[in-house]
Amino acid sequence: MNKTVPSARFITAYIALCILLHNPHNAWAGDKSSDTSQPPPQTFGNFLVSSGLKLEQHYTTNIHASAQNEKNDLVTTLTPTLAVQKNVRDHEFTFEASAPIKKHLETHEEDTVDAHVSLSALVTAKRSLKLPISISYDKAYISRHEDTSLITPLKPIQTRRRRIEGGFIYAPNRLHIQLIGHYTQERFKNGTSSNGNAIIYTDDDHNNAGLHTKISYHTASIVSPFLAFKTHKANFLRASYNGTSFNGNKRDHRYGAALAGINFDTGTLSGHIAAGYNMLRYGDNALEDLSALQLSANLDWKPVERSNIALTLSRTAMENSIIESAYIETTANAMLRYEVRNDLALNTGATFSHHNYTSGRDDMIYEGQAGMDYTLNTAIQAHANVTSRKRNSDVQNEDYLVNTIMVGITGSL
């Protein structure tokens, strides 16, 4: 079977092209580029309305992200979007909706229709006090390459999520205090394995309630310190399915994290660096607790006009209810974007992730991509990229290699 794989020569040539297109004498310094990629919203009475339609065509070499059953396919994704904003004095109200529709040429069992709807408000109680609140509903499917289940389902795993969050942002002076609480309901739909047996996912149904607090002080210098705290409790509706009944492990757990760091901005260089500690504690002694050093770093660098380099690093404790295990996720990402002209931008990047599970599983994920964005006018943009993603796992038949070529067009209505 033929596969489209971005070769090392291609990636090297692409990066070299980005370097050659950079003018070392800063020829773009006097040319102010205007942002024409996003048209302004339309005004209908007292409402600001933005709507769009994105059409993407993917060719994928391993549609199931499988180690043994590799199959290529053409995938068409159509995504309509809508955003409506209403301002009442100092208050902002926003409604957003989108519905990605994914159709496969051959593997029709992979067809999905997602949905996202949200309503948010930013209420100004007084100049120094704002009250954000949002309500959202999502119907989605877990991507094949993100599915860690040892049993291959016939169709992607379907989830439904309802979420409400709210709190306050208090900024009387240089001191900023933010407290946001949330309550989330996550529900799963049972499935069928590739060999026809039933798969129980409803034992992963759970409710999650938590708080996120951030305290920062905006100094007059380029460096500003901050403290962040997170806590949540997940309550599962039933014990896990043990093969005959819901009498297995209980995944109820508590999560807590504390992080201290600095934000910095020199004009051409901005971002943050932070370190802390987080832990995940299960109510069932059959599941292993986890504590970990937490790291978070982001660097956004504009070395020359029209160029941008973004570097990110994170290390944190996570929970995977599907395989009943906590894990440490370590991720590093590097992205390079260069605007050749006002209407043409090239980008390339690489990501490495390491998932170290308390159950003994160990996964390494590698991803590389290169692409471009072309703005035809204020209403239409074209996109193209090549992506290669690989997972190496010490669990049998959990490795995969997926290569994808995408071309797409986005229109603002």
Contact 398, 150 (CB under 8 A): yes
pLDDT of residue 25: 33
Residue 31's contacts (CB-CB under 8 Å, 6 or more residues apart) are 305
Contact 223, 263 (CB under 8 A): yes
Residue 4's contacts (CB-CB under 8 Å, 6 or more residues apart) are 59, 61, 386, 403, 405
Mean pLDDT for 256-283 is: 96
Mean pLDDT for 400-413 is: 94
Sign of CA dihedral 281, 287, 290, 296: negative
Which residues sit opposite 59 in a β-bridge?
A: 74, 405
Contact 158, 139 (CB under 8 A): yes
Give the DSSP letter of residue 254: E
pTM of the model: 0.84
**Model confidence at 19: pLDDT above 80:** no
**Model confidence at 261: pLDDT above 70:** yes
CA distance 181 to 184: 10
Q: Share the mean pLDDT of the chain.
A: 89
Domain map (residue ranges) of the chain: 8-23+47-412
Ranges of beta strands (E only) in 127-252 are: 129-141, 158-170, 175-188, 191-192, 198-199, 206-217, 223-236
**Tokens coding 216:** 């920062």
Split at pLDDT 50, 70, 90, the class of 95 is very high
Between the two ends of the chain, the Cα-to-Cα distance in Å is: 41
Residue type, position 240, single letter: S
Sign of CA dihedral 209, 118, 296, 322: positive
- Determine the Cα angle at 126 with ends 120 and 131, to 5°: 25
Separation in Å, CA 244 to CA 12, 199, 247, 295, 320: 54, 12, 8, 41, 22
Model confidence over 344-380: pLDDT tens digits?
999 999 999 999 999 999 999 999 999 999 999 888 9
Neighbours of 271 (CB within 10 A): 17
Separation in Å, CA 171 to CA 168, 260, 265, 301: 10, 19, 20, 28
User: At 248, is the secondary structure helix, strand, or coil?
Assistant: coil
Split at pLDDT 50, 70, 90, the class of 195 is confident
pLDDT of residue 35: 40
Mean pLDDT for 135-143 is: 96
Split at pLDDT 50, 70, 90, the class of 119 is very high
pLDDT of residue 10: 39
CA distance 400 to 388: 11
Q: Kindly state the percentage of the chain with pLDDT values over 70.
A: 91
**Tokens coding 205:** 């149904």
**Model confidence at 274: pLDDT above 70:** yes
Residue 239's contacts (CB-CB under 8 Å, 6 or more residues apart) are 203, 246, 247, 248, 249, 250
- Highest mean pLDDT among 5-9, 11-15, 199-203 belongs to 199-203
Model confidence over 171-194: pLDDT tens digits?
999 999 999 999 999 999 999 998
pLDDT of residue 89: 87
CA distance 215 to 181: 15
Model confidence over 305-339: pLDDT tens digits?
899 999 999 999 999 988 889 999 999 999 999 99
pLDDT of residue 244: 85
Neighbours of 106 (CB within 10 A): 11
Name the architecture of domain 8-23+47-412.
Beta Barrel (2.40)
Contact 332, 309 (CB under 8 A): no
Give the DSSP letter of residue 38: S
pLDDT of residue 39: 65
pLDDT of residue 38: 56
**Tokens coding 78:** 């159509």
pLDDT of residue 322: 85
Contact 404, 61 (CB under 8 A): yes
The dihedral formed by the CA atoms of 13, 14, 15 and 18, expressed in degrees to the nearest 10: 120
